[in-house]
Structure 1
Amino acid sequence: MSASGLLKSQRFRQAREDDWRRLERLMDKAEKGAMAKLTDAEILAVPVLYRSTLSALSVARETSLDQGLIDYLETLSARAYFFVYGSRSTLQDRLTGFFSVEWPAAVRGLWRETLISAGLMLFGALVAGWLVTIEPEWFYAFVPGELAGGRDPAASTATLRATLDGTADAEGLSTFAAFLFTHNAQVALLAFALGFALCLPTALLVLYNGATVGAFVALFASRGLGVEAGGWLLIHGVTELFAVILAGAAGLHIGWSVAFPGQRRRLDAASEAGRTAGVAMAGVVVMLLAAGLLEGFGRQLITDTFARYGVAAVTGLVWALYFYAPRREAVHGH
């Protein structure tokens, strides 16, 4: 840089440096976790100083002042930008927003796909249950051997009853319950992940999961244990199966957007659908964790059939109110 250019840069800096230094001190204070200690006057001053710094940066670039000054102003402007426009919410704020607004809103936005997913699961359960009722050998077509764990048409009624009332081998029961939970969790994750394949794999997975449940219940019902089997399953199944239904709904939402993007580009449609589905799927993981707790503790501690139905009814009501009860929309900016 020439001597005249250097002198010009020095004069430019001297005329504005006090504001830059003040903004730098405020950013240092905020970034060190002392934001709460900023006074109202300091907080109000930051946007003004930020705009002034941006203006100085623009002038410095246009007049080709020294590169060191330009780099300094760019860094300072970037720091101030994140203070002025960036999110300063805490982890607690983010979690509160997710559970109170984002997750319920995403699930409500998927109500059509949720009805379709629930219908597919119910249809699969009814068809498989009917087939197993008329011919027990159909059971093996819908329930893998490792999932059945010996609870199949070859088992005695006494063995099946012992499975439900907790008198069977505790370790074997726990293993079966854990396998059942893992199976449903895998179906939920796959149903969502395969949504990009134009809905069909997701629909088949949900249908198959319903068939597995229907075949299982039909077997116990054929031995006069249908009511007991329902309580054994639903104490955690209301949460677990609803999670699978919502995962299926999220996958269907993405698949439908990819198959029929409308006036949007296919990639844009998938991206937009993925944001809503992704929020819903994050909540599904929470539901699966809750189902795991109900399965690991509630079902083992509560052995009375009607008490199990009571827990199932309460969890169903809680989820229904949480997702679908009318609520006031949050006011932006507050």
Structure 2
Amino acid sequence: MSKAPDLRLKSQRFRQEREADWTRLERLMDKVEARSASALTDEELLAIPALYRSTLSALSVARETSLDRGLIDYLELLSARAYFFVYGARSTLAEQLSAFFRETWPAAVRTLWRETLAAVVLTVVAAVAAAVLISQDGQWFQVFVPVDMVQGRDPAASTESLRQALYHDGDHNGLSVFATFLFTHNAQVALAAFALGFAFCAPTIMLLLYNGATLGAFLSLYVSRGLGFELGGWLLIHGVTELFAIILAGAAGLRIGWAAAFPGRASRLASISQAGRTAGAVMGGVVVMLFLAGLLEGFGRQLVTNDLARYAVAATSGLVWLAYFYAPRRGRAS
């Protein structure tokens, strides 16, 4: 019968001995949550980890000795609040986004330079192979280009209709529909090349080859009509960013697939997890590149109709991306 009063007495004494630390920690957490960590003095910042460990120790004792439930709940909540301050990210969303675009994304892309080079080679080889085959037999065009993407732009089309489509988007069946389809198609290829990379690289390689062959088929058609220069300007004004995004997505997929096939000394799961963190950072930026490519496709192509101006925009975007990803950072390893 005397156990309950004795337990309450123990709980009271336990609280009295440590309550000053809990109260101080709670006050500091209130201050941080109401304002920010910058509102704390240096002394307060140094005190929080010690107060957190003291509170955590008190919580452990309270649980083991079965002190009253209210005290345990209070300590659990206070410990959780302090934990997120001590170990959690204290930067704002704007600071995290700034760090991602300033450091995380370009560093991840530089890490994948081998896979990026491999993706470029696969795309170029497929484009050249498709162009050579079509130059020998026009029937290959239907093999490399999906039916929905053709829309009258095939070897049977007249040269004049192909030329007009490069500069006039007025009608519903014009190049604007084709451009939208092409962008959607490329975005799907980019996401699939990354998502399927875990299957030992094979699907990613096939998608890169397929995309390169499709590009080569269209280039072959327009070059055969003397419109290669004009098509290049139309494609590259948004294609530099779009194709670069696909290449990086393919590189991310290759990194994951290689880690799955050849994990090295680490376990396969650990190897994939490590590769996934790098590849995930790259893909976060690829989504942004696809968005920018969509803006260039939607506005730049209609507003800029001069071939040389289109090439100038394409060259500028290419130089900007290369400098952003690969230019040496002062004070940082590239």
TM-score tier (shorter) = over 0.9
The answer to whether the Cα contact below 8 Å between 1:107 and 1:280 also exists between their aligned partners in 2 is yes
Shift of 1:40: 4.3
The answer to whether the Cα contact below 8 Å between 2:106 and 2:326 also exists between their aligned partners in 1 is yes
Shift of 1:302: 0.9
Match of 2:218 in 1: 216
Tell me the number of residue pairs that the alignment of Structure 1 and Structure 2 aligns.
331
1:14 aligns with 2:16: yes
Match of 1:204 in 2: 206
Shift of 1:280: 0.3
Match of 2:47 in 1: 45
Distance 2:243 2:292 in 1: 12
Give the counterpart letter for 2:51 in structure 1: L
Change (3 A) 1:120 1:34: closer
- Could you report, residue by residue, the CA deviation over 1:16-47 in whole angstroms, capped at 9, with x for unpaired residues? 21221222122223223455544444434323
The answer to whether the Cα contact below 8 Å between 2:169 and 2:176 also exists between their aligned partners in 1 is no
Distance 2:74 2:239 in 1: 59
| Larger displacement relative to structure 2 (57-66 or 146-155) | 57-66
Which of 221, 234, 239 is matched with 1:237 structurally?
239
Match of 2:142 in 1: 140
Shift of 1:239: 0.7
Match of 1:298 in 2: 300
- Unmatched tracts of structure 1, length 5 or more: none
Distance 1:102 1:34 in 2: 25
The answer to whether the Cα contact below 8 Å between 2:169 and 2:175 also exists between their aligned partners in 1 is no
Match of 2:194 in 1: 192
The answer to whether the Cα contact below 8 Å between 1:159 and 1:168 also exists between their aligned partners in 2 is no
Shift of 1:62: 4.6
> Percent same amino acid at aligned positions?
67
Distance 2:50 2:194 in 1: 47
TM-score, scaled to structure 1: 0.93
Which of 119, 129, 132 is matched with 2:131 structurally?
129
Distance 1:255 1:45 in 2: 46
TM-score, scaled to structure 2: 0.93
The answer to whether the Cα contact below 8 Å between 1:202 and 1:251 also exists between their aligned partners in 2 is yes
- Could you report, residue by residue, the CA deviation over 1:272-303 in whole angstroms, capped at 9, with x for unpaired residues? 11110011011111111111111111111111
Change (3 A) 1:330 1:195: same
Distance 2:142 2:36 in 1: 64
Match of 1:313 in 2: 315
Shift of 1:64: 4.3
Distance 2:331 2:67 in 1: 51
Shift of 1:63: 4.3
Change (3 A) 1:138 1:238: same
Match of 1:108 in 2: 110
Give the counterpart letter for 1:266 in structure 2: R
